[in-house]
Structure 1
Amino acid sequence: MLSPSTRSATRELLTLAWPVVLARIGIMTMGLTDAIVVGNYASRELAFHSLAWAPHSIIVVTAVGLLFGVQVMTARMLGEGRRLEVGAVLRRGIVYALQLGIAACIALIFVGPWLLRQMHLDTGLAEGAGPALIVLALSMPAYLVSVGAQFFLEALGKPKPGMVAMWVANAVNLALNLLLVPDILGIGLHGATASCWATFAARAALAIFLVIYILRLPEARALGVFTRPRPNPEAAREQRKIGYGGGSSYFIEVAAFAAMTFIAGQIGANETAAWAVVLNISAVVFMVPMGLSSATAVLVGRAYGAGDSAAVLRAGLVGIGVVTGLTLIVALLVWPSAHLLVGAYNRDPALLAIAAPAVVLATLFFVADGIQVVAAQANRAAGDVWWPTIMHFTAYGGIMMPLGWFLAHRIGVDGLVWAVIIASLASSTLLTGRFVRIARRARHGG
C-alpha cells in the first residue's frame, strides 16, 4: 500500500508529465513524419535522411542537455520561494540557446559534410546526405530557443502550451513534407533535403510561438521576465554547470548511437535504412521516459530547493517506478506489431526482412533505457552533476560502441540492437543505485 505522500507525489508527477510526454513525442513525431514520407518516396532517400540526422543529432541533443540548467534552476528557485529571480534564468537560457545554435549551425555546415565523407560509407550515401545536413544546421538557432522556452514553462508547471505548440508545428511539418518531398510545387527540391526544409519551417514557427506566449504570461512581471537581472555570476555558473553535465551525457549517448548508424552504413544501404527504422521507432518510444524524466527533475529540483531530502528521494523513486510500468506496457504493444510499424516506413521485402526482427529485439531495452534517463535527470536535479555523465560514458562509450561494431560485422543490425540492450541494462543499474545513494546521504546529512 502506497503512503499518502507517495500517492500525492505520483499524482503530481503524472499531472505534470502527460503534457511533457506528449510534447516530447511531438518532437520525435516530426522526425517520424519526415522518415515515413521520405521512406515512402524512396528507400535510398531514407538512408540519406538518416545519415544527415546522425551528426545533426549529436549536436542538437548535446545542446539540449546544455540547456537543462534552465529547467532545474527555475524549479529550484521556485522551491526556494525566489519567484522574481526566475526571469533571470530564462534570459540567461535564451541568450545561451542563441549562442549554442549559431555555433552549432556553423560547425555542422563546415564540418558535417566532410565528416560524412570520412566514414567510408556505401557509394553515394555521403554525397546524398550532405545537402540535407546543411538545411538541418540552419534550423538550429530557432530550435534551441524553443527548447529553452519549453524547459522554462515546464519548470513553472505550465507544460500544456509547449505541448500544443509542438503539435501545431507537427501539422506544419507534415503539410510541407507532403508538398515538398515529391516536389509537387515543382521548385526543384525533393526527398531528404526537401524534408529538412519542412523541419526548418516548423522549428521556426515553434520558437516564435513559445517566446510570444511567455512574454504574454499574466505573471511574467512577477517572475522577473521583464526585469533586467542584476549580475549573479554564481547562479550563472551553477546554471551552466548543470547544463555541462547534461550536455556531456547526451553527447556521449547520442554520439554512440550516431556511430552505430555509421557502422550500419559500412554494411550497406538496406542495413542503414533498417537501422534508421529501428532507431526512429525506439526514439519515439524513448520520448515517454524523456517526458517523465523532465517531470521527475522538476519535482526533485523543487524538493531540493526547499531542502526536503525525503521528498527528493520520494520524487525520484516515483519517477523510476512510473517509467518502469509505462515502458513495459509500450514494449508489450510494440512487440507483436513490429511488422506493421516497419511497413509504415517502407514495404520493400529486403528492408522488412532486416528491420522487423530488429524492432522485436529492440523492445528488450525499452524498460532499461527508460529507467536510466529518469534516474540520470533525478541525480542532476538533486545536485549530482558529473557522476551520471561518467556512468553514461561507461555504458555507451565503453560498452555499446565497441560491442556494436563487433556484433554488427557478424550478425548485422541485430548485433547493433544487442549492444544497446547490454549498455542500457548497465546504465540503468548504475544510475538508479547512484540516485538512491545520493538521496539517502542527503537525508542523513552526509
Structure 2
Amino acid sequence: MVDPATEEIDLRGELTRLVSLAWPVVLTQLGFMGMGVVDTMMVGRLGGDAIAATALGHSWSFAALILIIGVGQGLDPLFAQAFGARDPDRAGREMFRAFWLMGLMCLPMVVHHNLAAPGLTLLGQPAELVDRASQYASILSWCVPAMMFFVVLRQYLQGKGQMRPAMWVLVVANVVNIAGNEVLIYGRFGIPEMGIAGCAWSTVFVRIVMAVVLLVLSWREFSSVIPQWRESFSWSELLQQAGIAVPVGLQTGFEVWAFQASIVLMGWFGPTAIAGHVVAINMCSVSFMVPLGISAAASTRVGNLIGARLEFKRAAWTSIAMGGLVMTVSATLFVLIPEYLALLYSPNDLAVVAMATSLLPLAAFFQLFDGTQVVAFGVLRGAGDTRVPSLASIFGFWFLGLPAGAGLAFGLGFGPRGIWLGLTLALASVAFLLLFRVRYTIARGGFPVE
C-alpha cells in the first residue's frame, strides 16, 4: 500500500493533503495565543502594574524560548525526510540526538531567565516593575526542560504527519491554565494568594503537563524507538544536526527580536503609539497563525517527498499560493474596515484606535509578504535548506528593514508609519529572496539529509 504522506498526487489532492496537515497546527498555535490572552485577562484583575510586570517578565522569557522553538522547527527536515524514506529508526536517533542538543542549550536558557533583573534595569525599564517581572521570569526557568522536551517530541510527530496530538495537548493545557491561574493567582482551596508569581507557577505546571500529556498520547511511537537512544550520541552527527537546526533558531530569534525592537522604537513616540502598534501587531499575529500552520504542513510534506525521492515542486508552490491567498483575505479586511477592527481592541481610547487605524493599511501589505515568506521558509526547511534562508531573513530585518524604518520614522518625519514601512520592506525583501531560493532548491532537487 502507498503511504499517503509520500504519494505524488494531483493539485486537488495536494491541497487536501496540505489542509489536513495545516489545520491542527493552526489550532495549536491559536491555543498558545489563547493561554497568553487568559493570563493577561486574569492578571488584569490585579491592576495595570501587574499586567505590565507580567508582560515584561514574559517578554524576557520568550526572548530565550523562541530559540528553543526555532531550533525545534529546524529539526523538521531531519524528521520529515527520515519518515519519507521509511526509516523510523533514523528518525528516532535524530529525536534523541535533539534531546542532547537541547540539553546543551538548557543551562544558558536557565541563566538567562535568572538575569532578568539586571537585564531589564539595563534596558531602562521602570524600577517598580523590574522586581516583580524578574521574579516572574525566574520562576519560568523551572519549565525550560519541559518546554524543550515538548518541542522536540512535537516536531518528531509532525515529521511523521501526526499534527493532532499537539492540538489536543493545547486543549488540555488551556483548561489547566485557567484552573491553575484561578487557584494560584487569587488563592483558592487553602492556597495563599500569590499574584503574578502564581501566574508564573501556573505556567510552569501547565508546560510540564503539556510535555507529559504529549508523551502519553504518543507513547506507542516514542517507545518503539527507545532502543535508538544508545546510538544517538555522536559529536560529529550532533554537530551536523546543529548545523541544520541552529540557523533556523537564530532566524526565528532575530525575526522576533526585530519586532520587539520595533516596540522600543515606537516607544519614543509615546504610549499611544505603542498601544496602537501593539493592537496592529496583535491583529497581524492572529491572521499569521494560518500561514504559520501552512508553513509547518509544507515543511512536513516537502520533507516526506524528498525522503521518498519524489518530486516536490507541486507541493512547494501550492503551499506558497495557499499562504498568499489566506493573507489576501486578512489584508483586504485591514484596508476596508481598519477602524472597526481597532475598536474591537480598544473601544474606550479613540487615540489608540486612530493610531491603529493609520497603521492597518500598511499592515495589509505587510501581511501579504509575511504570509509568503513564512510558507517559503517552511518549504525550504523541509527541503533541508536552512542556512541561506536564515541569512536572508537576518539581512532583511536587521540590515534593511529596521535601519530603513528608523530613518523614515525619525530622519524623514514619517513618524510611527515609518517603522511599519521599514518592517514591510524587511518582509518584502525576505519574501522575494526566499522565492528565488525556492526556485533554486526545486531545480537542485532539495538538500537530502542522510
TM-based fold match above 0.5: yes
Selected match of 2:85 from 75, 80, 83: 80
CA distance in 1, matches of 2:186, 2:407: 38
CA distance 1:239–1:149, shift in 2 (3 Å): same
Query: Is the counterpart of residue 313 in structure 1 residue 306 in structure 2?
Result: no
CA-atom RMSD, angstroms? 3.1
Tell me the residue number matched to 1:237.
Answer: 239
Query: Is the counterpart of residue 395 in structure 1 residue 396 in structure 2?
Result: yes
Greater shift in the superposed pair: 125-134 or 376-385: 125-134
The CA deviation string for residues 67-92 of structure 1, in whole angstroms up to 9 with x for no partner, is 23433211111122212222222222
CA distance in 2, matches of 1:206, 1:11: 29
Please give the TM-score of this superposition, normalised by the length of structure 2: 0.85
The CA deviation string for residues 204-243 of structure 1, in whole angstroms up to 9 with x for no partner, is 211111122222x2x5555x23444425745433322221
Selected match of 1:431 from 422, 429, 434: 434
- Whether contact under 8 Å (1:16, 1:295) holds in the other structure is yes
- Whether contact under 8 Å (1:136, 1:196) holds in the other structure is yes
Tell me the residue number matched to 2:5.
Answer: none
CA distance in 2, matches of 1:101, 1:235: 19
Selected match of 1:113 from 105, 117, 126: 117
The amino acid of 1:318's aligned partner reads T
Greater shift in the superposed pair: 119-128 or 389-398: 119-128
- Count of residue pairs brought into register by the alignment: 435
- Whether contact under 8 Å (2:169, 2:210) holds in the other structure is yes
Tell me the residue number matched to 1:103.
Answer: 108
Q: Deviation at 1:429?
A: 1.0
Q: Deviation at 1:189?
A: 3.3
In structure 1, stretches of 5+ residues that fail to align are: none
Tell me the residue number matched to 2:286.
Answer: 284
In structure 2, stretches of 5+ residues that fail to align are: 1-7
Tell me the residue number matched to 1:60.
Answer: 65
Please give the TM-score of this superposition, normalised by the length of structure 1: 0.86
Q: Deviation at 1:323?
A: 0.8
CA distance in 2, matches of 1:40, 1:273: 19
Tell me the residue number matched to 1:368.
Answer: 369
CA distance 1:121–1:220, shift in 2 (3 Å): closer
Q: Percent identity?
A: 25
The CA deviation string for residues 391-413 of structure 1, in whole angstroms up to 9 with x for no partner, is 11111111222234344555554
Q: Deviation at 1:318?
A: 1.3
The amino acid of 1:206's aligned partner reads M
Selected match of 1:198 from 187, 198, 202: 202
Tell me the residue number matched to 1:263.
Answer: 265
Selected match of 2:423 from 413, 420, 423: 420
Query: Is the counterpart of residue 14 in structure 1 residue 15 in structure 2?
Result: no
Residue 194 of structure 2 aligns to a residue in which SS?
coil
Tell me the residue number matched to 1:248.
Answer: 250
Tell me the residue number matched to 1:131.
Answer: 135
Q: Deviation at 1:322?
A: 0.8
- Whether contact under 8 Å (1:28, 1:287) holds in the other structure is no
- Whether contact under 8 Å (1:68, 1:242) holds in the other structure is no
The CA deviation string for residues 92-138 of structure 1, in whole angstroms up to 9 with x for no partner, is 2234334434431222212x332222223467454553333323333
- Whether contact under 8 Å (1:342, 1:355) holds in the other structure is no
Greater shift in the superposed pair: 328-337 or 84-93: 328-337
CA distance in 1, matches of 2:385, 2:94: 20
- Whether contact under 8 Å (1:108, 1:137) holds in the other structure is yes
The CA deviation string for residues 151-208 of structure 1, in whole angstroms up to 9 with x for no partner, is 11111111111101112212222333455556778845335x5443332222121111
The amino acid of 1:245's aligned partner reads P
CA distance 1:90–1:270, shift in 2 (3 Å): same
CA distance 1:4–1:138, shift in 2 (3 Å): closer
Instruction: Map residues 149-188 of structure 1 onto 2, 5 A cutoff.
Output: 149-178=153-182, 187-188=192-193
Q: Deviation at 1:6?
A: 2.5
Q: Deviation at 1:349?
A: 4.5
- Whether contact under 8 Å (1:86, 1:225) holds in the other structure is no
The amino acid of 1:145's aligned partner reads F
- Whether contact under 8 Å (1:264, 1:408) holds in the other structure is no
Q: Deviation at 1:435?
A: 0.9
Tell me the residue number matched to 2:379.
Answer: 378
Selected match of 2:55 from 50, 53, 67: 50
Q: Deviation at 1:298?
A: 0.8
- Whether contact under 8 Å (1:408, 1:415) holds in the other structure is yes
